[in-house]
């Protein structure tokens, strides 16, 4: 009995430690964002004064609303395009047998292992050739290099798990391949789509390097770049309050999304591995 109490106490202590480790940085960002002036430099863990001045100044000092909109446009487009291409590619890679299929799959996987910096200059040439420098299209295009490999890979794995007879039954019923994907596979792949879509959203939402390189004007920037380039009253002042307020503002939607789709994600993450 004693050991069981000890074990239980230890277990909960461990959980508390993990939670603090995970949550504290975000918590500190939240309370810092609510401080102003000299209070920013107090190391107190509890909020002593609450002011939304930082939030106001983030949105008035620069077109931060526009930046958020940019991020939303980029992230949503990337998710939509990645899922569409991912599902159609997954059908081809998971269901149609052709020469070099395995090689193609591994090429796709290996693309995702390139460090972002390595493809940066090549990507820059591509963006310039398309004439989409300093537009959101450049970000949509470049972010897909980050999201497509895992989207295709996960959806292919998931599609392979779906019984072949389902597809054949639909063919016998007179369905075209596109109908099979749309009417049979899409509804069944919903959990996997939500999971991969959300991961793609987070990647696109937080992407920094491409966004910094391919945009020039403040109006075309996405949130991570905008935050990094926030400037204070003078060149020598880092506006911590504003940075924290901006960070909290853009983190909240992601957290909310994850909470909404929480159950779907869990089932989606395991569904690919074990027959779901």
Partner 1 sequence: MADVVLKKVTKRFGNVEIIHAVDLDIEDGEFVVFVGPSGCGKSTLLRLVAGLEDITDGDLFIGGRRVNAFSPKERGISMVFQSYALYPHMTVYENMAFGLELAKSSKAEIKDAVLKAADILELTPLLDRLPKQLSGGQRQRVAIGRAIVREPKVFLFDEPLSNLDAALRVQMRIEIAKLHKDMGVTMIYVTHDQVEAMTLADKIVVLNAGNVEQVGHPLQLYHNPQNLFVAGFIGSPRMNFIETAVDSASGDTVTMGLPGGGRAVAKVDGSRVRPGQKVTLGIRPEHIVLEPSESQVSGRIDVIEQLGEAYLLHVRLADGSLVTAKIAGDAPQHEGDTVTLGFDGALCHVFDEREQALPRIIETAAA
Residues that bind partner 1 (CB under 8 A): 163, 165-166, 168-175, 179, 183-184, 187-188
Min. distance of Cβ 165 from partner 1 in angstroms? 4
Min. distance of Cβ 183 from partner 1 in angstroms? 8
Min. distance of Cβ 186 from partner 1 in angstroms? 9
- Looking at the Cβ atoms of 31 and 188, the one nearer to partner 1 is 188
Tell me 62's DSSP state.
Answer: S
- Looking at the Cβ atoms of 69 and 188, the one nearer to partner 1 is 188
- Looking at the Cβ atoms of 69 and 162, the one nearer to partner 1 is 162
| Residue 28, both tokens | 């500190």
Instruction: Scan for tokens 């020598």, then name that residue.
Output: 236
For residue 129, count CB atoms less than 10 angstroms from its CB and return exposed for 0-12, middle for 13-18, buried for 19 or more.
exposed
Min. distance of Cβ 152 from partner 1 in angstroms? 23
- Looking at the Cβ atoms of 167 and 207, the one nearer to partner 1 is 167
Angle between the N-to-C axes of helices 262-271 and 240-260, in degrees from 0 to 180, rounded to the nearest 10? 70
Min. distance of Cβ 190 from partner 1 in angstroms? 9
Using only C-alpha atoms, what is the Rg of the chain?
23
SS3 of 104, please?
helix
C-alpha–C-alpha distance, residues 198 and 192, integer Å: 10
- Looking at the Cβ atoms of 25 and 187, the one nearer to partner 1 is 187
- Looking at the Cβ atoms of 183 and 263, the one nearer to partner 1 is 183
Min. distance of Cβ 177 from partner 1 in angstroms? 11
CB neighbour list of residue 105: distance below 8 Å, 6 or more residues apart? 93, 153, 156
Give the count of alpha carbons within 13 A of 138, CB side only: 26
C-alpha–C-alpha distance, residues 206 and 42, integer Å: 29
């Amino acid at each position: 009995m004693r050991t069981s109490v000890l074990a239980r106490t230890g277990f909960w202590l461990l959980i508390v430690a993990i939670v603090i480790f995970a949550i504290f940085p975000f918590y500190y960002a939240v309370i810092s964002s609510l401080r102003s002036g000299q209070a920013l430099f107090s190391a107190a863990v509890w909020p002593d004064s609450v002011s939304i001045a930082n939030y106001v100044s983030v949105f008035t000092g620069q077109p931060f609303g526009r930046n958020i909109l940019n991020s939303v446009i980029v992230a949503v487009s990337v998710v939509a395009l990645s899922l569409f291409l991912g599902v159609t590619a997954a059908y081809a890679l998971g269901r149609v047998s052709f020469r070099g299929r395995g090689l193609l799959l591994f090429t796709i996987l290996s693309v995702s292992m390139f460090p972002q910096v390595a493809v940066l200059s090549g990507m820059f040439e591509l963006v310039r050739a398309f004439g989409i420098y300093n537009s959101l299209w450049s970000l949509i295009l470049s972010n897909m290099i980050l999201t497509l490999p895992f989207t295709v890979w996960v959806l292919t794995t998931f599609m392979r798990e779906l019984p072949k007879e389902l597809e054949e039954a639909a063919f016998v019923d007179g369905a075209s391949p596109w109908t099979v994907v749309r009417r049979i596979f899409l509804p069944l792949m919903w959990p996997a789509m939500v999971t991969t879509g959300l991961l793609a959203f987070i990647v696109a939402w937080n992407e920094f390097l491409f966004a910094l390189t391919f945009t020039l004007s403040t109006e075309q920037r996405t949130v991570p770049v905008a935050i990094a380039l926030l400037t204070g009253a003078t060149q020598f002042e880092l506006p911590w309050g504003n940075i924290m307020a901006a960070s909290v503002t853009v983190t909240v939607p992601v957290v909310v999304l994850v909470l909404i789709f929480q159950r779907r994600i869990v089932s989606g993450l395991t569904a690919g591995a074990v027959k779901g």
